[in-house]
Amino acid sequence: QVPLVQSGAEVKKPGSSVRVSCKTSGGTFRSYTISWVRQAPGQGLEWMGRIIPILDETDYAQKFQGRVTFIADKATGIAYMELNSLTSEDTALYYCARSLSTQTSCYFWGQGTLVTVSS
Amino acid sequence: EIVLTQSPGTLSLSPGDRATLSCRASQSVINNFVGWYQQKPGQAPRLLIYGASTRATGIPDRFSGSGSGTDFTLTISRLEPEDFAVYYCDQYGSSPWAFGQGTKVEIK
């Protein structure tokens, strides 16, 4: 069973918002941490932040503070990442990843969701 | 905020060679919470090592991690053809978590 399945590719206009979903296998978060990581074309990995669903705690990278929101629907086991005020620099592959235990960060990864921002 | 610097940027080696990748943190990493990831073109990253030295499930024992404090190393004892890829370290001991910029291991 695939641990994390993400929603499909998106094309957005500058200034708009995007929501990417990440479904956990079994439909439950247990005590996992869900991280969001993005990768611009040809670039490295960039940590955007994380959410601990069982505690309803979020931790956002300063770069995205005020522009990104992480949501975890405990009833369905689906995590969401919403990014607002999109620019062309937000064009990237967006990954969700989850921990295995408190000793790990990104143990399992989703397949990635390509977000393209273009007028 | 901890900044991770990986070196070298590119490593040109042959199959069978030993690869040594470095990840240096700007401050001591709490609990040595450092991970190493492998990424191949068109694929999501794959966790190799967590907690600086523990192999993730299914990772071959030619991959090993070591280090503590601010200096961490990923060693691939004998490179297999499938090991040529980009490798990233991360730290998750303190917020904000962060990734290094990556080391590309290419075929010489």
Distances, alpha carbon A89 to alpha carbons A72, B1, B108, in Å: 26, 23, 34
> Is pLDDT above 80 for A1?
no
Strand partners, B39: B86
Residue B62 near residue B55 (C-beta atoms within 8 A): no
Compute the average pLDDT of residues A72-95. 96
- All residues of chain B having their beta carbon less than 8 Å from the beta carbon of residue A62 are 1, 96
**Closest CB from B39, B50, B101 relative to A104:** B50
The pLDDT value given to residue A29: 82
Q: How far apart are CA A67 and CA A109, in angstroms?
A: 23
Q: What is the nearest CA distance from A107 to chain B, expressed in angstroms?
A: 6
**Closest CB from A47, A107, A110 relative to B97:** A47
Q: Per the structure block, which two tokens stand in for A71? A: 């949501």
- All residues of chain A having their beta carbon less than 8 Å from the beta carbon of residue B39 are 45
Q: How far apart are CA B23 and CA A77, in angstroms?
A: 34
Query: Nearest residue on chain B to A65, judged by CA atoms?
Result: B96
What confidence tens digit (pLDDT) does each residue in B5-34 have? 999 999 999 999 999 999 999 999 999 999
Residue of B95, B101, B103 to mutate when probing chain A, most A C-beta within 10 A? B95
What confidence tens digit (pLDDT) does each residue in B55-93 have? 999 999 999 999 999 999 999 999 999 999 999 999 999
Q: What is the largest CA-CA distance in chain B?
A: 38
Q: What angle do CA B3, A116, A41 make, to 5 degrees?
A: 45
What confidence tens digit (pLDDT) does each residue in A59-77 have? 999 999 999 999 999 999 9
Q: Is A49 within 8 Å of B37 when comparing Cβ atoms?
A: no
The pLDDT value given to residue A18: 98
The pLDDT value given to residue A65: 94
Query: Nearest residue on chain B to A93, judged by CA atoms?
Result: B44
Residue of A33, A37, A106 to mutate when probing chain B, most B C-beta within 10 A? A106
The pLDDT value given to residue A3: 84
The pLDDT value given to residue B38: 98
CB atoms within 10 A of CB A118: 10
What confidence tens digit (pLDDT) does each residue in A46-59 have? 999 999 999 999 99
Q: Compute the Cα dihedral for A86, A89, A94, A96 and give only its sign.
A: negative
A-contacting residues of B 51-70, CB under 8 Å? 51, 54, 56
What confidence tens digit (pLDDT) does each residue in A18-48 have? 999 999 987 788 889 999 999 999 999 999 9
The pLDDT value given to residue A48: 98
State the count of interchain CB pairs (< 8 A) between A and B: 62
The pLDDT value given to residue A20: 98
> Is pLDDT above 80 for A12?
yes
